[in-house]
Amino acid sequence: MTRQFSTVRLNFDGINCNFTVILHKFKYKNILKTREKIITYDTTLRDGSQSEGISFSLQDKIGIALKLDDLGIDYIEGGYPLSNPKDKSFFKEIKNLPLKNARITAFGSTKRANKKVSEDPGVKALLLSETPVVTIVAKSWDFHVTDVLRVSLDDNLKMVSDTVKYLKSKGREVILDAEHFFDGCKNNSRYALKVLKVAQDSGADTIVLCDTNGGCLPHEIEKITENVVGRIKLPLGIHTHNDSALAVANTLAAVNVGVRHVQGTINGFGERCGNADLCSVIPNLVLKGKFRCLGDSGLKKLTEISRYVYEVVNFMSVPNQPFVGSSAFAHKGGLHVNAIQKNRSTYEHIEPEAVGNERKILISELSGSSNILAKVEKYNIKHNPKLMRKILKKVQDLENQGYHFESAEGSFDLLVKKVLGIHKGFFDLADFRVIVERGKDGRSITRATVKINVNGVEELTVSDGDGPVNALDGALRKALEKFYPSLKDMHLVDYKVRVVNPKEATAAKVKVIIESHDHKDIWGTIGVSENIIEASWQALVDSIEYKLLKDEDER
């Protein structure tokens, strides 16, 4: 019978002890089903929208909310209805859509000091949103009460009590975010705890401890939270900001001492340096902490939703983002690649497939034959040391000229096919010409002419463009699409130019990297030349050839 080793952490009279136990496989599966549940609360649509450079449209918010629901998030904070008409529209639209997992939450604050709770515009806006859950932020740092709200400490407690009681009387689930709670405890712990107790006594359902300035260290979060756990009987949550690059660590520290409700955003978007990144918090809880989050297949959708949100906000994804980044499981050094081929756990802390990501073997002058072997396995080639060295030498020679294949795997695949003698050309170039003229009105006009031969048929096409690359791309597509209609599905998504040898100034070589995608894949290609148009042409041709070869392999 298969046996599996597991480490169990137990607490005896405040002393943490680790025991290694052997569990039979069938028993282990049963234990996984009884893991303790962590409630996930996503605030991408509200806190995440406060990131510099992010502005969600109504359809953006709807699309992200549906993705979060499919992921298995428990609560989705839709926005602050008092702040703008868009958030009001979101709540109106989302209630007509069938959600499978999530409860929609409207965000607001405690009533104003000079208003009756029933007349407060913020509280009214929360109720008009008609969400089953409302989240209200309350001041728990006495400094903020006296210097920001400019009310007495007792008045603030009454504002908390009145607001919670009133919302509960209207049938809402109430989550209270204790803003600046940890800073408040450092300054006046008695008052900060009093705010929580008033919320509890007034009927709040969950109380969330907030490190709003993001300045606390994990041991501080753990110590203060542990003190609260023994005094507050309600479910406790944690909401951290990343100003000290510790939002994820601080969230996990709070969970370690009893918190079971975690708040954060996809990709860590948020005010200033952002919030706790749920794309790191969730896999750490599930794969390292052995808690339950999301549904059965939710964890495998993390990479997908991370990239979806990047695309919606028009941000470039962060390659080295843990778990979901394109480089999270990328291996470059030959020693590393050789080791993971023998046992993947040598240089990977989890299987990339667990979070919907994939392993990447990078090719560069640092590569060894193991890298090459790993990359060419898909060609079903037996290990041939001589051939591996030939490919590796070709890569090293080209990188010495300025090529760089880490982000140009499409060009690398074409290179390998050429070395193996299995490359198939889809067209031959006769010549191309690019003319840039400046008109009388001061506007530049760019025109590209391309002459190619496809299976003995000569094509001459002309295309205008916004620049040389756009014009060349247009002319080449115009010539090829009648022969290869699938090229209509391919689009250029990124174009980068880097100087290879800056000492040569304007005569320096440049490398052009083009990123392209179709309905299924993304790939990069590269060109290098002293002439930027020539380098761009090389990368363009590689991108098209890779697309056509990929389509042929899939048929």
Q: 56 and 189 share a domain? A: yes
Q: 270 and 419 share a domain? A: no
Place of tokens 């890298």: 371
> Which range marks the domain in which residue 135 is found?
35-295
Q: Which residue has the higher pLDDT, 371 or 178?
A: 178
Using DSSP's 3-state secondary structure scheme, residue 189 falls into helix
Per cent of the chain over pLDDT 70 is: 88
pLDDT digits (tens, 9 = 90+) for 401-451: 888 776 788 888 888 888 888 888 899 888 899 998 887 777 888 999 999
Q: What was the pLDDT predicted at 443?
A: 82
How many Å apart are CA 339 and CA 322, to the nearest integer? 21
- Based on its alpha-carbon atoms, the radius of gyration of the chain, rounded to whole angstroms, reads 29
Out of 270-274, 304-308, 334-338, least confident range: 334-338
Mean pLDDT of 371-383: 62
Q: 476 and 535 share a domain? A: no
Out of 132-141, 462-471, 487-496, 501-510, least confident range: 501-510
The CATH number of the domain holding residue 418 is 3.30.160.340
Q: 283 and 402 share a domain? A: no
Q: What was the pLDDT predicted at 400?
A: 79
Q: Which of 103, 108, 114 is nearest to 127 (CA)?
A: 108
pTM, to two decimals? 0.72
Out of 118-122, 209-213, 295-299, least confident range: 295-299
Q: What is the DSSP letter of 499?
A: E
The amino acid present at 408, given as its one-letter code, is: A
Mean pLDDT of 459-464: 93
Instruction: Look at residue 431 and tell me if it is in a domain.
Output: yes
Model confidence at 20: pLDDT above 60 = no
Out of 169-173, 283-287, 290-294, 492-496, least confident range: 492-496
Calculate the dihedral angle through the C-alpha atoms of 424, 425, 426, 430, rounding to the nearest 10 degrees. Answer: -170
pLDDT band for 217, please (50, 70, 90 cuts).
Answer: very high
Model confidence at 300: pLDDT above 80 = yes
How many Å apart are CA 250 and CA 217, to the nearest integer? 7
Mean pLDDT of 544-553: 88
DSSP H or E run through 157: helix 153-169
Q: What was the pLDDT predicted at 422?
A: 82
Model confidence at 5: pLDDT above 70 = no
Model confidence at 31: pLDDT above 70 = no
Instruction: Look at residue 521 and tell me if it is in a domain.
Output: yes
Model confidence at 313: pLDDT above 80 = yes
Q: Which residue has the higher pLDDT, 240 or 6?
A: 240
Mean pLDDT of 52-60: 93
Q: Which of 502, 487, 522 is nearest to 408 (CA)?
A: 522
Instruction: Look at residue 311 and tell me if it is in a domain.
Output: no
Model confidence at 341: pLDDT above 90 = no
Q: What was the pLDDT predicted at 502?
A: 72
pLDDT band for 377, please (50, 70, 90 cuts).
Answer: low
Mean pLDDT of 151-180: 98
Q: What was the pLDDT predicted at 408?
A: 80
Q: 153 and 286 share a domain? A: yes
Instruction: Look at residue 138 and tell me if it is in a domain.
Output: yes
Mean pLDDT of 239-268: 98
- Residues 299 and 283 sit within 8 Å (Cβ to Cβ): yes
As given in the structure block, the two tokens for residue 14 are 């405040």
Q: What was the pLDDT predicted at 515?
A: 87
pLDDT band for 504, please (50, 70, 90 cuts).
Answer: confident
Model confidence at 123: pLDDT above 70 = yes
Model confidence at 323: pLDDT above 90 = yes
Q: What is the DSSP letter of 318?
A: -
Q: 410 and 448 share a domain? A: no
Instruction: Look at residue 64 and tell me if it is in a domain.
Output: yes
- Please, which residues have CB within 8 angstroms of residue 219's CB and are 6 or more apart in sequence? 253
Where among 251, 269, 295 does a domain terminate?
A: 295
pLDDT band for 324, please (50, 70, 90 cuts).
Answer: very high
Instruction: Look at residue 323 and tell me if it is in a domain.
Output: no
Most confident of 331-345, 384-398, 527-541: 527-541
Q: What was the pLDDT predicted at 10?
A: 39
- Residues 204 and 175 sit within 8 Å (Cβ to Cβ): yes
Mean pLDDT of 505-522: 83
CA distances for 522 relative to 87, 101, 365, 409, 519, angstroms: 34, 31, 23, 10, 9
Total length of the chain: 555
Per cent of the chain over pLDDT 90 is: 61
Q: 10 and 72 share a domain? A: no
Q: 126 and 184 share a domain? A: yes
Q: What was the pLDDT predicted at 394?
A: 82
Instruction: Look at residue 161 and tell me if it is in a domain.
Output: yes
Out of 342-356, 401-415, 533-547, least confident range: 401-415
Model confidence at 63: pLDDT above 80 = yes
Query: Number of folded domains in the chain?
Result: 4
Q: 126 and 223 share a domain? A: yes
Q: 420 and 410 share a domain? A: yes
Q: 82 and 221 share a domain? A: yes
The CATH number of the domain holding residue 155 is 3.20.20.70
Q: 288 and 206 share a domain? A: yes
Instruction: Look at residue 75 and tell me if it is in a domain.
Output: yes
